[in-house]
Amino acid sequence: MRSSNPFAFWRFEALFENSEQFIGGFFRTILIAALALVLALAIGVMIGLFSTSKNRFLKVFARIYVEFFQNIPLVILIFFMYNGLAMAGLVMSEFTIGVVGVGFYHGAYIGEVVRAGITAIPKGQTEAAYSQGFDYIQTMRYIILPQTVKIILPPLANQAVNLIKNTSVLAIIAGADLMYSADSYASSSLNYGPAYLVAGLLYFSLCYPLAVFAKMYEEKLKNKDIVTVTPISLPEVIE
């Protein structure tokens, strides 16, 4: 007679016999997270630049974008894209909703990270660049952003961790991600304990290395005092 223990060995055996479902969801989660992160980084850099520009319209746009996405739950955004937009005639696949929804949502948080990194650079460097004939775009491209990257890497890694975990909300729209795969298997087999435990370990395997990197790099910055930016020589202006 099989044990009724929710973590009995036979339950894990049954799970690994159906491991294809978990493997498919795992790699789908990685793909969605990777594409969403690329989108979030692109949006984040744009929002960060808008937030620190002298153009009032761009600054207001960036502030509205950040406040909007930081103050609504991601699940509401996903439901809106899945049901609301579909009713308006714009039907998207669960995969597309995952990439776009998670990407736009985390773009607001990364935008704040980029903004904080840019403002951490001494204003004297921007003024020096302008005095050499650089415009705003050239100043950001050649002087400010290269130094900003070193400062914002740890919080960016933390945002990547949060992004990976937030892909789990796609389970509510049958996104075929890791969480949906685990929940589907658990519901059909009643092996809830092993299913959620393995899903948690798979998420852990993705997130923990990034969290460790963020912590180690932050300690490296503190030890080497990289956060204190030193003046650099200005490159020639490229016409």
Q: What's the pTM?
A: 0.86
Coil/strand/helix, residue 26: helix
**Tokens for 50?**
């808008």
Query: 233 falls in which pLDDT band (50, 70, 90)?
Result: very low
Query: 1 falls in which pLDDT band (50, 70, 90)?
Result: low
The answer on pLDDT for 228 being more than 80 is no
Average pLDDT over residues 35-51: 96
Per the CB < 8 A criterion, the answer to whether 118 and 148 are in contact is yes
CATH of 21-223, one of 3.90.180.10, 1.10.3720.10, 1.10.4080.10, 1.20.120.50: 1.10.3720.10
Domain map (residue ranges) of the chain: 21-223
Interatomic CA distance for residues 32 and 79, integer angstroms = 17
pLDDT in tens, 14-26: 888 888 889 999 9
The answer on pLDDT for 229 being more than 60 is no
